[in-house]
């Protein structure tokens, strides 16, 4: 029955219907998918849960500030010291920058309009001066900042001094310039990587086209669906989730394509009619592909329980990408393969009634080497992976300061560091306290005892609410600034009747780190439970799912441990984003379990005829090559993230790529196979397969597999 359903999708007529349907769908989706970048929300404040104090503060801050205002700091530095003439020229330059279209009047500490030159600050050593100009270009004004920065540099350069454009405006301008066209670059880099690996895998100048075209269709359709949800259903989409979507769809989609093509090629050796061969291939490979995709989808959907809106938004984005990729790879790709026929495999066309090469290939020989001593193999392998996991103690996943967040030096980052080095407070990212107006004086008094902040402003009162601001004396994204925010909160919360809330950029960043730490504790156990349930249903057993999940967790620990050592001692990264462990875990467990599913479903398929031990060796020989290729594709696509100028992306890409390689090369091929050979039919406990007849020893099983070869 299942084979008949599979055959209907790729029949002599229906294959053309499937192709026509997807052509219509992708044409419709293409007009929408390109708009995805327009609905991305990359503001840190939009990533936070409603329960965060900084989020609550934002609501009360609305009457005091326009969310479209962009504070921009101009930093002037001169090693020999700024002269009076320099300071006069700097003041004049600041006032000229104030004349740029979009600049709004500067305000003093009491909220009254003034000129930027009147607010200029000079460092105690006289080597650095800073001024601030705030711009407001409307809702999409952040996109104009690169051009504005260029104009500022033309106007404000003072001979003999070094100018840095810093603050939120400078950082946004540098970030926009660095990420200009990054979606296209990420897509093209991913496609090139996939093409190269597929060429090496298939050794065919033509076959790679079909998986790549199918993955492109899947990405376009997924982007269209996500755009519509972001536009009309308030789905949070940002640059991070959009970038991961590209990598995930191409990586996972190509994995599914590799498994299907390998099974189709295997069936072409057994069936003369290619339509019949595809029907058998879909019937036998699709359950494993669907189970694999379902595991990833459910694992990703666990992210919706995260406190972080950005993490919660990534869950549906990734799940949609995987779901659409699955649909394309089990409908469009089979239709294309059958339409083109055997010649698409040229020059290695699979001939009918010939031996499938994987039966005597590299992985079959690896299985034969494991068979004599399987217990020793899996124990030693597990110990080595466990030792690698100890590197996690080197992981500093507590967020990154601005100066440590990028893989190259940006002008705004250098300017921020100059301010810190010369003991100038950052006036563009102050701590903001909103409180009941009748307690404003008491709140201001409480701030005087807090270290790490400059002089607090006079209260500005609107509608019974007072706003008090105080500049930070440290990098607003540093641990020192977060500690200062905690001290400020502790101080103002003690003022009775004030209902004080502390917000601002540093408070937002501190709350993001706290929410990420909470998500690590909640989401990781939830994903494990979901994956375990899927495996139990798929394999109809309890022991094998427990062992498989344990191996993937061990792989996660080893990859994160090794990555931590590389981050610190090779790349020289100062730390890691607080969300790194969660993202790496979700991707490795949800995606890494794929390869175990591919292997174990084949073992289960072969067990009734050959017994568990022989089935394990047959499955390793049959699936080893395709799973290795799939792992290389996924690892390579995730490593593309390392080309982005953000440390967080580079770390996610490296850790996931390393983990996938460990899964495919060691965990699945060596560790799982050795456990299967050692445990034998008991791996299926408590299903009826566990009650099969007496099994041969691992060595006898290897000899019997050899005897099956002609």
Domains and CATH numbers, the chain: 1-52+189-354 (1.20.1640.10), 68-178 (3.30.70), 424-510 (3.30.70.260)
Burial of 448 (0-12, 13-18, 19+ CB in 10 A): exposed
pTM for the whole thing? 0.80
How far is the C-alpha of 476 from the C-alpha of 484, rounded, in Å?
A: 10
Token digits of residue 638: 């995730």
- Residue 58 structure tokens: 């934002």
CA distance 407 to 647: 6
Nearby residues of 31 by Cβ (< 8 Å), 6 or more positions away = none
Measured N-to-C along each axis, helices 647-662 and 543-569 cross at an angle, to the nearest 10 degrees, of 140
* Three-state SS sequence of 282-320: HHHHHHHHHHHHHHHHHHHHHHHHCCCHHHHHHHHHHHH
Tokens of 480: 């020192």
Q: Specify the pLDDT at position 1.
A: 43
pLDDT confidence of residue 220: 93
- Beta carbons within 8 Å of 581's beta carbon, 6+ residues apart: 395, 397, 520, 524, 560
Given a cut of 70, the residues of the chain with pLDDT beneath it are 1-8, 38-47, 108-111, 139-143, 178-184, 352-360, 426, 690-694, 700-701, 703-710
Express each pLDDT in 122-132 by its tens digit: 999 999 999 98
The Cα diameter of the chain in Å comes to: 96
What residues have CB less than 8 Å from 642, skipping those under 6 apart? 649, 650, 653, 654
Closest to 256 measured CA to CA, from 205, 200, 220, 296: 296
Query: Are the beta carbons of 88 and 150 closer than 8 angstroms?
Result: no
Q: Please give the DSSP secondary-structure letter assigned to residue 5.
A: H
From 662, 667, 658, select the one nearest 565 (Cα to Cα). 658
């Amino acid at each position: 029955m299942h084979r008949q359903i599979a055959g209907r999708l790729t029949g002599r007529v229906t294959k053309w219907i499937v192709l026509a349907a997807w052509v219509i769908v992708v044409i419709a989706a293409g007009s929408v998918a390109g708009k995805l970048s327009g609905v991305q929300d990359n503001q840190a404040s939009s990533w936070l849960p409603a329960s965060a104090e900084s989020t609550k503060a934002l609501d009360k801050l609305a009457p005091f500030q326009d969310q479209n205002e962009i504070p921009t700091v101009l930093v002037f530095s001169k090693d020999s010291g700024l002269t009076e003439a320099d300071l006069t020229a700097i003041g004049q330059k600041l006032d000229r920058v104030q004349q740029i279209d979009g600049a709004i009047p500067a305000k003093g500490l009491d909220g009254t309009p003034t000129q930027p030159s009147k607010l200029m600050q000079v460092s105690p050593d006289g080597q650095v001066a800073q001024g601030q100009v705030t711009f407001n270009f409307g809702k999409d004004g952040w996109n104009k900042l690169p051009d504005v920065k260029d104009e500022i540099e033309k106007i404000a350069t003072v001979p003999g001094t070094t100018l840095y454009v810093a603050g939120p405006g400078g950082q946004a301008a540098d970030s926009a310039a660095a990420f200009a066209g990054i979606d296209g670059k990420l897509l093209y880099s991913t496609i090139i990587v996939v093409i190269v690996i597929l060429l090496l895998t298939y050794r065919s100048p033509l076959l790679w086209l079909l998986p790549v075209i199918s993955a492109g269709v899947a990405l376009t359709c997924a982007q269209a669906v996500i755009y519509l949800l972001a536009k009309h259903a308030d789905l949070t989409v940002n640059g991070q989730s959009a970038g991961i979507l590209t990598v995930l769809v191409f990586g996972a989609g190509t994995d599914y394509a590799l498994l299907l093509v390998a099974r189709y090629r295997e069936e072409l050796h057994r069936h003369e009619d290619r339509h019949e061969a595809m029907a058998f291939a879909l019937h036998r490979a699709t359950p494993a592909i669907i189970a694999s995709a379902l595991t990833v989808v459910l694992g990703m959907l666990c992210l919706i329980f995260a406190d972080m809106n950005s993490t919660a938004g990534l869950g549906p984005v990734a799940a949609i990408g995987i779901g659409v990729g699955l649909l394309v790879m089990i409908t469009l790709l089979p239709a294309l393969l059958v339409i083109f026929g055997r010649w698409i495999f040229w020059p290695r066309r699979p001939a009918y009634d010939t031996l499938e090469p994987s039966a005597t290939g590299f992985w079959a020989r690896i299985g034969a080497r494991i068979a004599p001593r399987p217990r020793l193999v899996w124990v030693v392998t597990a110990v080595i992976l466990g030792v690698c996991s100890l590197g996690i103690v080197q992981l500093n996943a507590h967020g990154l300061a601005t100066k440590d967040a990028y893989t190259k030096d940006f002008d705004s980052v250098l300017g921020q560091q100059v301010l810190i080095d010369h003991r100038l407070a950052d006036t563009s990212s102050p701590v903001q306290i909103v409180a009941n107006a009748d307690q404003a004086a008491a709140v201001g008094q409480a701030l005087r005892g807090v270290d790490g902040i400059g002089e607090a402003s006079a209260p500005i009162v609107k509608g019974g609410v007072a706003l008090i601001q105080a500049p930070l004396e440290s990098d607003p994204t540093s641990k020192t600034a977060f500690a200062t925010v905690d001290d400020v909160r502790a101080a103002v919360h003690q003022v009775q009747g004030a209902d004080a809330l502390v917000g601002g950029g540093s408070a937002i960043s501190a709350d993001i780190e706290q929410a990420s730490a909470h998500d690590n504790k909640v989401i990781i156990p939830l994903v494990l439970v979901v994956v375990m349930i899927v495996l139990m249903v798929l394999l109809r057993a309890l022991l094998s799912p427990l062992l498989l999940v344990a191996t993937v967790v061990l792989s996660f620990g080893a990859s994160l441990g090794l990555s931590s050592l590389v981050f610190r001692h090779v790349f020289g990264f100062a730390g890691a984003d607080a969300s790194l462990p969660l993202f790496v875990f979700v991707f490795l467990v949800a995606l890494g379990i794929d390869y175990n599913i591919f292997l174990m479903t084949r073992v289960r398929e072969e067990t009734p005829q050959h017994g568990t031990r022989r089935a394990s060796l047959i499955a390793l020989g049959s699936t080893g090559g395709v799973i290795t290729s799939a792992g290389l594709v996924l690892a390579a696509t995730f490593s593309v993230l390392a080309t982005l100028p953000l440390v967080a992306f580079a770390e996610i890409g490296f850790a996931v790529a390393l983990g996938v390689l460990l899964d495919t090369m060691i965990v699945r091929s060596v560790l799982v196979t050795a456990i299967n050979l050692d445990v034998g039919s008991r791996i299926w406990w408590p299903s009826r397969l566990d009650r099969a007849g007496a099994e041969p020893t691992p060595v006898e099983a290897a000899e019997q597999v050899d005897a099956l070869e002609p």
